[in-house]
Amino acid sequence: MSPHHRYDPMRNPLPFKIYEDLDPIPLSLDVPLTGVPALSAIATHVSPTPEGQVPDIAAITRILHFSAGITKKLRSVRGDMPFRAAACTGALYHIELYLVCGDLSGLDAGVHHFDPGESALRLLRKGDYRSALVDASGNEPAVANAPAILVYTDVFWRNAVKYQAREYRHAFWDSGTIIANTLATAAASILPAKVVTGFVDDSVNQLLSLDAQREVALALVPIGYAPEVITGAPPEIGPLELKTTPVSDFEVDFPAIREMHQASSLASRGEVVAWREELHANSVTATSVPLIPIEPQAPGALPTDPVETVITRRGSTREFSRDSVTFSELSTILERASHQIPADFLAPQGDALTDLYLIVNEVDGLRSGSYAYQRDGQTLELIREGEFRPEAGQLALGQALGADASVNLYFMAHLEPILNRLGNRGYRAAQLEASITAGRIYLAAYALGLGATGLTFYDDAVTDFFSPHAEGKSAMFLVAVGRRTRRR
């Protein structure tokens, strides 16, 4: 981090990638809503069916819009500020979405870029290039049978303008909250979806014709299922000479971002296959202390607001009231958000890579203190009882939001065994798992009428606070939940 770097919000980069010479393919937002409750969608994984589940243009539009589209605009002294469907650090929106698909009802096969500013696709390559992603992913089955595949990329400078090299961590935080929306919207659309992080980095970057000095692929999410496996050799992929609008009139390079990314990149199909064979999850430490069973609301008593409505309503809470949430509300959030993520870095019935720790400030029916959540048994382990509002605020970089929230939820990972098994790419996986689950917590909180916000934190201080229970673990993500202050 450079002490000389200065952030000027009046000189933010463009929040959109604009292809100047490509005609837009408009996406009509007048698509039917699924009506599936958000609290159901975030906890549901749709399995493939023999007859197949192929999305049409309406389903693709729904998924793209409620993943990364503009859902609201707020007026400010600088004019209308467009806000996206998922949370993003600094509202700088550095994650781009691309669609690689075969022929779909209403959309021809091709490699497309999603432009949320115009709610449109732009065709980068005409034809079916899915086999290139099948090969790059080491023949991952979810990709090999996918009618459509979303690719999530990171434009470094759009976030580094404020956060410098720390941008690389935010790349996974912010793509993860988007992917949480993708998975929920796909589930509501009765379409299988899976997070795929094992792929040949250069191959995917070349397919999208990215300048890998400035933008790189982070993850794939295949959407739907077609009974016919994609076969054949990948088509020849040449460079594209496509003009894009510069995102900024100046740019500062942070080599550490590229170095970190390169250190966790996979160079060949063989490396991808070998990496995926090392599936490993960090087991939660066994405990003999008394555990508190969570008490989620009965399914019939859950709010039924559709997932699209909740995504549109969601924001990042700017002020908590310090009023309590109920143990039932907290339990519902934990139960719904902690369902296993369909991902290639997790064994089908394996444990999560990250562990969930809580600082409870004000929850009716639960003593204030620090806790560890045991996903398997859906129980809370009391680590230390006490009033920790000042500590919660201090850990969150001294922000009042951490102190005022009813509960702070920290995702922590024991990185050493993860990196031993999955190599440096295990860091990407741990960050993504944490942020996807945090994205689900966002949606669950807003479905219950609560507020939530992601916060930055002092890494080592978080580990120290939860130790000795969390000794050796690293903080991955923090999301605070509470009741929102109603502003006039």
Going from N- to C-terminal start, the domains of the chain cover 9-240+248-276, 291-482
Q: Do domains 9-240+248-276 and 291-482 have the same CATH topology?
A: yes
How far is 217 from 210, CA to CA, in rounded Å? 8
For residue 476, which of 437, 425, 442, 441 has the smallest C-alpha distance? 437
Give yes or no for a contact between 328 and 297, defined as CB atoms under 8 angstroms apart.
yes
How far is 316 from 305, CA to CA, in rounded Å? 19
Residues 9-240+248-276, CATH architecture = 3-Layer(aba) Sandwich (3.40)
How far is 69 from 115, CA to CA, in rounded Å? 8
Burial 462-486 (b: 16+ CB within 10 A, else e): bbebbeebbeebbbbbbbbbbbbee
| Beta strand 110-115 pairing with 95-101 | antiparallel
For residue 358, which of 237, 441, 272 has the smallest C-alpha distance? 441
pLDDT of residue 283: 46
Examine the pLDDT at 236 and tell me if it is beyond 90.
Answer: no
Name the residue with higher pLDDT: 288 or 47: 47
pLDDT per residue as tens digits for the range 383-428:
999 999 999 999 999 999 999 999 999 999 999 999 999 999 999 9
CATH class of the 291-482 domain in this structure? alpha beta
Residue with tokens 């999955």: 422
Name the residue with higher pLDDT: 145 or 300: 145
Name the residue with higher pLDDT: 3 or 54: 54
pLDDT of residue 460: 97
pLDDT-derived band at 1 (thresholds 50, 70, 90) equals: low
pLDDT per residue as tens digits for the range 290-344:
799 999 999 889 999 999 999 999 988 999 999 999 999 999 999 999 999 999 9
pLDDT-derived band at 77 (thresholds 50, 70, 90) equals: low
pLDDT of residue 288: 54
Examine the pLDDT at 284 and tell me if it is beyond 50.
Answer: no
pLDDT of residue 80: 77
Examine the pLDDT at 347 and tell me if it is beyond 90.
Answer: no
pLDDT-derived band at 487 (thresholds 50, 70, 90) equals: low
For residue 218, which of 155, 158, 276, 263 has the smallest C-alpha distance? 155
